[in-house]
Amino acid sequence: MTEQPSRPLTGIRVWYRPMHPRDSGEHHRVATPLELLFDLCFVVAVGQAAAQLHHALAEGHAAHGVVSFAMVFFAIWWGWLNFSWFASAFDTDDVPYRLATLLQIAGGLTVAAAVSSAFEGDFRLMVAGYVLMRLAMVLQWLRAARSDPSCRPAAFRYAAGITGVQVLWVAYLWVPLGAQLPVFVVLAILEMAVPIWAESHRGTSWHPHHIAERYGLFTLIVLGEVILSATNAVKEGNAEPGHLGALISLAAAGLVLVFSMWWLYFDRPGHTRLVRRPTMFTSMSWGYGHYFIFASAAAVGAGLEVAVAYDTGTLHLGGVAAAFPTTVPVAVFLISVWLLHIGPTNECRPIAIGFPVTAVLVLAASFTPAPIHIAALLTAALVAVSVVATHGQAKSG
pTM of the model: 0.89
Number of helices followed by number of strands (H, E) in the chain:
14, 0
Question: What CATH number did the domain enclosing 228 receive?
Answer: 1.20.1410
Residue 298 lies in a domain: yes
In a domain, 397, yes or no: no
Supply the range of the domain harboring residue 325.
Answer: 208-389
- Regarding whether 358 and 249 lie in a shared domain, the answer is yes
**Domain contains 259:** yes
Q: Which of 162, 182, 199 is the last residue of a domain?
A: 199
Q: Which of 171, 199, 227 is the last residue of a domain?
A: 199
The domain boundary, picked from 199, 225, 245, lies at 199
Q: What is the pLDDT along the chain (397 residues), one digit of tens a residue?
A: 344 444 444 444 567 677 777 766 667 677 888 999 999 888 899 999 999 998 899 888 889 999 999 999 999 999 999 999 998 888 778 888 999 999 999 999 999 999 999 999 899 999 999 999 999 999 999 998 888 888 888 899 999 999 999 999 999 999 998 899 999 999 999 999 999 998 887 777 777 888 888 999 999 989 988 888 777 777 766 656 666 777 888 888 999 999 999 999 998 766 566 656 556 667 788 889 999 999 999 999 999 988 888 877 777 778 888 899 999 999 999 999 999 888 776 667 788 899 999 999 999 999 999 999 999 999 999 999 988 887 656 554 3
Q: Are 143 and 133 in contact (CB under 8 A)?
A: no
Does residue 258 share a domain with residue 283? yes
Looking at the structure of the chain, the number of domains it has is 2
CB count in 10 Å sphere of residue 258:
21
* Residue type (1 letter), 111: V
| Nearest residue to 70 (alpha-carbon basis) of 109, 110, 118 | 118
Query: 308 Cβ partners below 8 Å, 6+ apart?
Result: 230, 233, 234, 236, 237, 247, 250
Closest to 3 in 3D by CA, of 91, 76, 64: 91
- 43 within a domain of the structure (yes/no): yes
Q: How many CB atoms lie within 10 A of CB 327?
A: 28
CA–centroid distance for 182 within its chain = 22
